[in-house]
Amino acid sequence: MKQLLAAMSVVLLLSGCSPKPPKTVYPRLNREAETSGLLSWNQRSSWNPRSGRVITSWVNPGGTMTTLYGDDAAVNYARSHADGAYPAGAKLGAVTWKQQEDARWFGGRIPAQVASVEIVTAGGSYARYEGSPLTAVPGDDTQRAQFLLHQRAAVMP
Amino acid sequence: MTRMRLLTGTGIALLLIGGAMQAYHPKLESPPVTAEIQVPDEVKQILRQRCYSCHSNETKLPWYDNLAPAYWIVRSDVREGREHVNFSTIGAKPAAVQRGTLFESVNLIQLGSMPLPRYLAVHRDAGVTPDELVTLRHYLETPPVQPAAPAPAAAAETQFQHWIASNGTPIQVQPEWNGVPFLPEYKNWKPVSSTERWDNHTMRQIFGNDIALEAIADGKIDNWPDGTVFAKVAWLQQPDGKGGITTGAFQQVELMIKDSKKYASTEGWGWGRWRGDDLKPYGKDAAFQNECISCHEPVAHSDHVYTMPIGGAQ
């Protein structure tokens, strides 16, 4: 019985009158959300935050989303401490994306273009990059650096 | 003349076979409507017209669906359809579950998986029209009258303190009911993408192991190599009080492990979901994975992976 049903389904499918699935279900990389101009800031910070591991993420008012990454020193500390007193030299990086509706899931918002990249070195510098390709925005923002250093790690048992 | 006779003969034979087929006509039960879905009239109207044939206890078949062999296929589809979603009984479930089902329904419609393409091929007028889709989406975009209670911040705090105190000591975790193992190293994999899910008030991160990352770098994502593993981690949303949303309590981690031979019977992937900070395997038996597979079916052309990976994580 099952085989008969399957055979008949195949006949119907082969009849070629099934509607084609929408384009969005075919494989696609989210190219627009990649960080471009990597070298321009990579040379100075010599660290790509997306090569690190995830500490946490959040959604900002106004339709952007941020993921905070860290190098080994930062991630290991964040996952066992709540105080944000990272060892000197630990690197954290926040990538903030504009959001777009997920074409594959009504109910989801996913990263679109990169809005900014911020790099904080514990006990040291803060740097901010914007635009495409990313270019450094001059200035030091201690308050913002402290904000990033005090984000708690997302629980990952 | 002989040709005429052959045609007549074939015709009579077909009629006889067709007639004989009608003898096998197993009953399609119509159980009572116990708890219909609770939605506004304009939404129910669309569900009634487009979905109820297979997803309710009020199945109404056109005459041609009552003829075997079509009847056999339709009967089997209706029974399976009711098992997945039954709008005649779903009203007994919590409002959030009903809403979740509607979100999944809209997505299956948008991605061309519902109504089933082979059903649409015969029932040309059964498809949801663009206007109807707008009505369904609009209903779901409008927040429910009673918004979901915010996730208790205190619970998230306790969970966090407990977690950092454990300092990475792994806890004992059971494999899923289908035998798929839990991989505690997921948290050290590289980021592939992230999602804000406003439909179910969660935040998500998707990680990939080295094999996944290599495939992304090579742009070979139409058929993920064996050994690819994705982890999707979900947290409850926690408003920060300033218009933003932070990651609250850990909700679950899900794994997709690619092995085209070992997992051949489940689309080439081993599926698993572990819930709560004690990482309890999801489901009651191995049948839980049917939920995973049917939800991922619309993206079968992308090897069942929903996430559009963001390159550059190496």
Q: Is the bond leading into B191 cis (omega within 30 degrees of zero)?
A: no
Same domain, B249 and B113: no
**A33: confidence class by pLDDT, cuts 50, 70, 90:** very high
B132, two tokens: 């109807």
Q: How far apart are CA B132 and CA B309, in angstroms?
A: 31
Same domain, B161 and B284: yes
Same domain, B253 and B279: yes
B250, two tokens: 């850990």
Distance from CA of B285 to the nearest CA of A (A): 23
Nearest to A94 by CA among A124, A114, A110: A114
Kindly determine whether residue A156 and residue B299, on different chains, have CB atoms separated by under 8 Å: no
What confidence tens digit (pLDDT) does each residue in A82-107 have?
A: 999 999 999 999 999 999 999 999 99
Same domain, B180 and B106: no
What confidence tens digit (pLDDT) does each residue in B43-59 have?
A: 999 999 999 999 999 99
Of residues A54 and B150, more confidently modeled = A54
Q: Is the ipTM of this complex over 0.85?
A: yes
With respect to residue B275, please indicate whether it lies within any of the assigned structural domains: yes
A139 at B interface, C-beta within 8 A = no
Give strand pairing partners of B254.
Answer: B232, B273
C-alpha A20 chain-centroid distance? 32
What confidence tens digit (pLDDT) does each residue in A95-153 have?
A: 999 999 999 999 999 999 999 999 999 998 899 999 888 888 988 799 999 999 999 99
With respect to residue B2, please indicate whether it lies within any of the assigned structural domains: no
With respect to residue B312, please indicate whether it lies within any of the assigned structural domains: no
B104, two tokens: 């999944």
Nearest to B260 by CA among B275, B250, B271, B270: B270
From A12, which residue of chain B is nearest by alpha-carbon distance? B118
Q: Domains in chain B: how many in total?
A: 2
Same domain, B274 and B188: yes
B92, two tokens: 């007994």
**Of the residues B141, B166, B191, which one is the last residue of a structural domain?**
B141
At residue B207, the 3 state secondary structure works out as strand
DSSP 8-state class, residue B248: E
Question: Which residues 246-305 on chain B approach chain A with CB closer than 8 angstroms?
Answer: 246-247, 249-250, 253, 277-279, 298-303
Distance from CA of B10 to the nearest CA of A (A): 20
Same domain, B188 and B276: yes
With respect to residue B131, please indicate whether it lies within any of the assigned structural domains: yes
Of residues B20 and B180, more confidently modeled = B180
With respect to residue B307, please indicate whether it lies within any of the assigned structural domains: no
Same domain, B169 and B87: no
Nearest to A4 by CA among B95, B69, B61: B69
* pLDDT over 60 (residue A52): yes
What integer pLDDT is reported at residue B119 of this predicted model? 87
Same domain, B127 and B170: no
Q: Please name the residues in contact with B259: beta carbons below 8 A apart, sequence gap of 6 or more.
A: B226, B227, B268, B269, B270
Q: How far apart are CA A65 and CA A101, in angstroms?
A: 12
**B22: confidence class by pLDDT, cuts 50, 70, 90:** confident
Range of the domain at B82: 16-141
Query: Dihedral of CA B20/B23/B24/B30: which sign?
Result: positive
Tell me which of A96, A106, A148, A151 to substitute to probe the interface with B (most B C-beta atoms closer than 10 Å): A106
Kindly determine whether residue A156 and residue B196, on different chains, have CB atoms separated by under 8 Å: no
From B222, which residue of chain A is nearest by alpha-carbon distance? A27
**A45: confidence class by pLDDT, cuts 50, 70, 90:** low
**Of the residues B141, B172, B194, which one is the last residue of a structural domain?**
B141
B129 at A interface, C-beta within 8 A = no
Question: Which residues 59-98 on chain A approach chain B with CB closer than 8 angstroms?
Answer: 59-62, 65, 67, 69, 79-82
What integer pLDDT is reported at residue B26 of this predicted model? 84
**Of the residues B141, B162, B181, which one is the last residue of a structural domain?**
B141
Same domain, B37 and B163: no
B196 at A interface, C-beta within 8 A = yes
DSSP 8-state class, residue B149: P
Q: How far apart are CA A141 and CA A135, in angstroms?
A: 16
Q: How far apart are CA A111 and CA A98, in angstroms?
A: 6
Question: Which residues 81-100 on chain B approach chain A with CB closer than 8 angstroms?
Answer: none
Give the phi and the psi of residue B13 in degrees, each rounded to 5.
-60, -45
Q: Rounded mean pLDDT of B109-126?
A: 88
Nearest to A60 by CA among B159, B148, B245, B170: B245
Kindly determine whether residue B312 and residue A38, on different chains, have CB atoms separated by under 8 Å: yes
From B301, which residue of chain A is nearest by alpha-carbon distance? A26
Residues of B in contact with A84 (CB under 8 A): none
Pairing outcome for strands A108-121 and A135-137? unpaired
Kindly determine whether residue A107 and residue B161, on different chains, have CB atoms separated by under 8 Å: no
With respect to residue B225, please indicate whether it lies within any of the assigned structural domains: yes
Same domain, B290 and B165: yes
Same domain, B22 and B134: yes
With respect to residue B5, please indicate whether it lies within any of the assigned structural domains: no
Based on its alpha-carbon atoms, the radius of gyration of chain A, rounded to whole angstroms, reads 22
With respect to residue B171, please indicate whether it lies within any of the assigned structural domains: yes
Same domain, B167 and B29: no
Kindly determine whether residue A5 and residue B205, on different chains, have CB atoms separated by under 8 Å: no
